[in-house]
């Protein structure tokens, strides 16, 4: 059994950097704020992030 804390992937860039899902943690890789509303409705614009999760994913992956 591991004592390592569980780390989750960023909903936007996929990097394993989120400690607690849905707790508005900001990804140090892409800057996405982990908003549970936007995670459950990836087309929603507003909330913690101006663009939708789907738009942010497209923007991130097109620039990297």
Cβ(13)–Cβ(27) under 8 Å? Answer: yes
Q: How many CB atoms neighbour CB 27 within 10 A?
A: 19
Contact of 15 with 7, CB cutoff 8 Å: no
Read off the pLDDT band of 51 (50, 70, 90). Answer: very high
The mean pLDDT value of the chain amounts to 95
In the chain the first and final C-alpha atoms are separated, in Å, by: 36
Mean pLDDT along residues 36-48: 96
Q: What is the reported pLDDT for 2?
A: 66
Q: Domain ranges in the chain?
A: 8-63
pLDDT in tens, 1-21: 567 789 999 999 999 999 999
């Amino acid at each position: 059994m591991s004592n390592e804390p569980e780390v989750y992937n960023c909903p936007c860039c996929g990097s394993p950097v989120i400690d607690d899902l849905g707790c508005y943690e900001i990804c140090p890789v892409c800057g996405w704020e982990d908003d549970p509303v936007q995670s459950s409705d990836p087309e929603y614009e507003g909330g913690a992030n101006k663009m939708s999760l789907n738009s942010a994913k497209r923007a991130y992956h097109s620039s990297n």
